[in-house]
């Protein structure tokens, strides 16, 4: 594989961009071993220090794995690898969380419509079980977070759309702490369970518009509660 010389402008960033481009284009695949540090430096006409800094950056980003005594290998980028930098940004930027809630408003309403059209009997059973489990959690004195998360996951599964499923997981993971905080509000744990039950009944009736409207109301409540928690 050819490595052309780089211009001397923030060299380590250029190295990072070059290797990332090769991974994204398929020139480098998961498990492939990169050339040794000295060889990379020679081929790109940069210092070994720049190469070392670039490799550290790529490792932090999750693109490569540096194995002591073995070499540098391209890593399989997982969902968690993609999620981590977003989680870091959300932890320090409250406005970003509110923006995410706006996106959730759009996505989950449309996802609900899709679930109405595609939900199988198995999907309906999975959704109902999530509601029943949440009810049991609340009755036992819990906040029903696991049941809440399972309901939205089951709803995404019912769409039979892999992108919806991934987005649902992303939203759930990113907002998990916020959702847990809102469920700690007195009387709050019962509210989502009731909302979920009504949404489920609309799905069973194959009423897409009713289900979507109920989901929008549900998410609007959640947005208000999370905004309230964040303002305290």
Nearest of 176, 151, 173 to residue 80 by alpha carbon? 173
One pLDDT digit (tens) per residue for the chain, 232 residues? 555 555 444 678 888 889 988 988 889 888 999 999 999 999 988 889 989 989 988 887 778 899 988 999 998 766 556 555 555 555 555 666 777 778 888 889 999 999 999 999 999 999 999 999 988 888 887 767 788 889 999 999 999 998 888 888 877 776 666 666 565 555 555 678 899 999 999 999 999 999 999 999 988 887 787 777 666 6
- The answer to whether 105 and 122 are in contact (CB under 8 A) is no
Query: How is residue 100 written in tokens?
Result: 């995410």
Domain limits, the chain = 11-77, 81-231
Task: To the nearest 10°, report the CA torsion of 213, 215, 221, 227.
Answer: -120
Query: How is residue 209 written in tokens?
Result: 């518009």
Please tell me the distance from the alpha carbon of residue 108 to that of residue 216, in angstroms, as a whole number: 8
Q: What angle do CA 119, 197, 157 make, to 5 degrees?
A: 30
- The answer to whether 53 and 12 are in contact (CB under 8 A) is yes
- Sign of the alpha-carbon dihedral angle for 138, 139, 140, 141: positive
- φ and ψ at residue 114, rounded to 5 degrees: -65, -40
Query: How many other CB atoms sit within 10 Å of the CB of residue 198?
Result: 15
Nearest of 181, 133, 138, 137 to residue 153 by alpha carbon? 133
CATH of domain 81-231: 1.20.120.530
Please tell me the distance from the alpha carbon of residue 19 to that of residue 43, in angstroms, as a whole number: 13
Q: CA dist 211 to 111, 178, 202, Å? A: 10, 24, 5
* DSSP assignment letter at 36: P
Query: How is residue 189 written in tokens?
Result: 């744990």
CATH of domain 11-77: 1.10.10.10
- In the prediction, which pLDDT does 189 show? 55
- Threshold 0.85, pTM exceeds: no
Please tell me the distance from the alpha carbon of residue 93 to that of residue 131, in angstroms, as a whole number: 32
Query: How many other CB atoms sit within 10 Å of the CB of residue 16?
Result: 19
Q: Cα 147 to chain center, whole Å?
A: 19
């Amino acid at each position: 594989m050819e490595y052309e010389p780089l211009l001397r402008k923030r060299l380590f960033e250029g190295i990072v961009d070059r290797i990332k481009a090769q991974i994204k284009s398929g020139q480098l695949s998961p498990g492939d071993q990169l050339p040794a540090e000295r060889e990379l430096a020679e081929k790109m006409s940069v210092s070994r220090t720049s190469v070392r800094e670039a490799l550290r950056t790529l490792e932090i980003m999750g693109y490569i794995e540096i194995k002591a005594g073995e070499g540098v290998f391209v890593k399989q980028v997982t969902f968690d690898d993609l999620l981590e930098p977003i989680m870091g940004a959300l932890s320090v930027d409250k406005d970003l969380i509110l923006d995410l809630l706006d996106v959730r408003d759009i996505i989950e309403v449309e996802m609900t419509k899709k679930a109405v059209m595609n939900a199988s009997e198995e999907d309906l059973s999975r959704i109902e079980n999530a509601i029943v489990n949440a009810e049991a959690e609340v009755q036992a004195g819990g906040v029903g977070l696991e049941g809440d998360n399972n309901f939205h996951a089951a709803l995404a599964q019912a769409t039979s759309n892999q992108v919806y499923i991934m987005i649902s997981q992303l939203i759930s993971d990113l907002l998990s702490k916020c959702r847990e905080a809102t469920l700690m509000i007195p009387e709050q744990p019962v509210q989502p369970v009731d909302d979920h039950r009504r949404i489920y009944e609309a799905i069973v009736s194959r009423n897409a518009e009713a289900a979507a409207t109920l989901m929008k109301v549900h998410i609007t409540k959640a947005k208000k509660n999370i905004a309230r928690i964040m303002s305290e």
